[in-house]
Amino acid sequence: MNPPEPVRAQAVPVFDLASALANETAALRRWLGKLAGRAHAEDLAQDALARAWSYRASRDEAQPFGPWLRRIAFRVFLDHRARQKARRAASELSAEPSAPPPREEEAAEARSELERRLAELEPHERDVLLRFHQSGESIEAIARSLGRPTGTIKSWLHRARAKLVARAERTR
C-alpha cells in the first residue's frame, strides 16, 4: 500500500504587470488616438504606461486590469488637454499688444495692495497660492511636501484665488 500523495496547494497565478501592459499597448494607442488625435497618441500612451507602472503598488488586484489602465490613460489625456489649453492662452496673451508700463508709484501702490490682500488670506491658502504662482511648483509637488491630497491643495488654491478676486471687486 502506497502512502497517500500530499495535497499540493494550487499555485496562485502571479499577475505580470509588464506583460499586461505590453498586451494592452496597441489598444491603448488606438483609444488615445480617438481621444487626442493620432499625432499625440504615441506620447500619451507612453505617459500612461509609465504612470501605470509607477502606480502599480496601489492597484487593486481584484479589479479588472483594462479599466484601471484606461482610467490612468484618460487622466493623462486630460492633463495633456489642460497643458494645450494653457499654451494657447499664453500664446494669445503674448500676441496681444502690451499695455504701457505702469509708473513706479502705481506699481508700488498695486504691490502694497496685493501684499495687504495676501496677508488677509489663511496662512495655508497664502502658502499654496504663492508656491503655485510665484515659485511655479506643481500641485502634486505642493501636495507631497505638505502631506495632503492633491484635491485639498486644489481647493485651497481655488479658495485663495476666489478671496483675492472678491476683495478686489469690493475695493472698486
Over residues 94-134, the pLDDT tens digits come to 666 666 666 888 888 888 888 888 888 899 999 998 898 88
Same domain, 82 and 27: yes
Is the separation of the CB atoms in 163 and 118 below 8 Å? Answer: no
Does 80 score more than 80 pLDDT? yes
Name the residue among 13, 14, 25, 16 with its Cα closest to residue 69: 25
Q: Residues for the chain: how many in total? A: 172
Same domain, 22 and 88: yes
Question: Which is it for the CA torsion 25, 82, 137, 120, positive or negative?
Answer: negative
Is 11 part of a structural domain of the chain? no
Residue 12: all three cell numbers together: 496562485
Q: How confident is the model at residue 61 (pLDDT cuts 50, 70, 90)?
A: confident
pLDDT the model gives residue 10: 55
Residue 122's contacts (CB-CB under 8 Å, 6 or more residues apart) are: 160
Name the residue among 54, 51, 48 with its Cα closest to residue 77: 48
Whole-number average pLDDT of the chain: 84
Same domain, 60 and 33: yes
Single residue among 93, 117, 140 that ends a domain in this structure: 93
Same domain, 120 and 148: yes
Mean pLDDT value across residues 40-68:
89
Is 22 part of a structural domain of the chain? yes
pLDDT the model gives residue 106: 83
pLDDT the model gives residue 12: 44
Same domain, 33 and 84: yes
Identify the CATH number of the domain in which residue 166 sits. Answer: 1.10.10.10
Single residue among 37, 65, 93 that ends a domain in this structure: 93
Q: pLDDT > 70: what percent of the chain?
A: 85
Distance, in Å, from the CA atom of 37 to the CA atom of 42, rounded to the nearest integer, reads 10
- Structural domains counted in the chain: 2
Is 139 part of a structural domain of the chain? yes
Q: How confident is the model at residue 74 (pLDDT cuts 50, 70, 90)?
A: very high
Distance, in Å, from the CA atom of 136 to the CA atom of 121, rounded to the nearest integer, reads 19
Distance, in Å, from the CA atom of 152 to the CA atom of 124, rounded to the nearest integer, reads 11
Identify the CATH number of the domain in which residue 43 sits. Answer: 1.10.1740
pTM of the model: 0.48
Mean pLDDT value across residues 62-78:
90
Over residues 128-166, the pLDDT tens digits come to 988 988 888 889 999 999 999 999 999 999 998 888 888
Supply the range of the domain harboring residue 34.
Answer: 17-93
Name the residue among 52, 41, 62 with its Cα closest to residue 18: 52
Is 9 part of a structural domain of the chain? no
Single residue among 93, 127, 151 that ends a domain in this structure: 93
Residue 48's contacts (CB-CB under 8 Å, 6 or more residues apart) are: 28, 32, 69, 72, 73, 76
Is the separation of the CB atoms in 121 and 163 below 8 Å? Answer: yes
